[in-house]
């Protein structure tokens, strides 16, 4: 990939706000973490909220050494409580790079994960970033909480070429 082509020469990196929020506790386990990339472009990105496991968030925050140990500890503390929220800031040459990093992070990329409720059979779907084999809980509209395991990566094209 040619990262240089994403840059506008002479443009200083822009700072993007990444809003993090701990989702409600389910069956005594902390919920997932939702994130929303805003930073003055929130209108454009509305609806692009997705969720992460704790491991997936840790990987992203640690990746570039862009966040100090103190900052990461503060994030962990803020997200230790139900509905706790905090915002981290990252400088990127352009929004695209920031989005690609947060959505496409290798090993825990955001993808739609579908699951059938154990009680009513309803198919529930949500965008989650987690490592293959990691599990999380999801509450169905009927109230039942099911444990979901992050599946192996699906091929980009679902139909094999013949
Ligand atoms: Zn259900």
Which tens digit of pLDDT belongs to each residue from 25-65?
A: 999 999 999 998 875 554 455 456 789 999 999 999 999 99
Q: What is residue 12's predicted lDDT score, i.e. its pLDDT? A: 80
Find the 70 Cα to ligand 1 centroid distance in Å.
41
**Distance (Å) from CA 3 to ligand 1 centroid:** 44
CA 149/CA 132 separation, integer angstroms: 8
pLDDT < 70 regions, the chain: 1-11, 39-48, 153-162
Ligand 1 centroid from CA 156, angstroms: 29
Distance 129 CA to ligand 1 centre (A): 22
124 alpha carbon – ligand 1 mean position (Å) = 9
pTM exceeds 0.95 for this model: no
Q: 157: CA distance to ligand 1 center in Å?
A: 30
Q: What is the Å distance from ligand 1's center to 125 Cα?
A: 12
How far apart are alpha carbons 5 and 9 in whole angstroms?
A: 9
């Amino acid at each position: 990939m040619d990262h240089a082509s994403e840059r506008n020469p002479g443009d200083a990196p822009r700072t993007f706000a990444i809003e993090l929020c701990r989702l409600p506790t389910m069956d005594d386990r902390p919920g997932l973490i939702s994130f929303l990339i805003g930073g003055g472009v929130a209108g454009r990105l509305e609806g692009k909220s997705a969720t992460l496991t704790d491991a997936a968030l840790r990987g992203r925050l640690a990746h570039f050494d862009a966040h100090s140990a103190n900052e990461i500890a503060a994030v962990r503390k803020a997200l230790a409580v139900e509905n706790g929220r905090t915002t981290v800031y990252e400088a990127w040459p352009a929004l695209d790079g920031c989005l690609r990093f947060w959505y496409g992070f290798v090993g825990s990329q955001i993808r739609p994960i579908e699951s059938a409720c154990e009680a009513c059979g309803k198919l529930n779907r949500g965008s989650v970033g987690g490592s293959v084999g990691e599990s999380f809980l999801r509450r169905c509209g009927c109230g039942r909480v099911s444990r979901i395991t992050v599946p192996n990566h699906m091929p980009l094209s679902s139909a094999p070429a013949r």
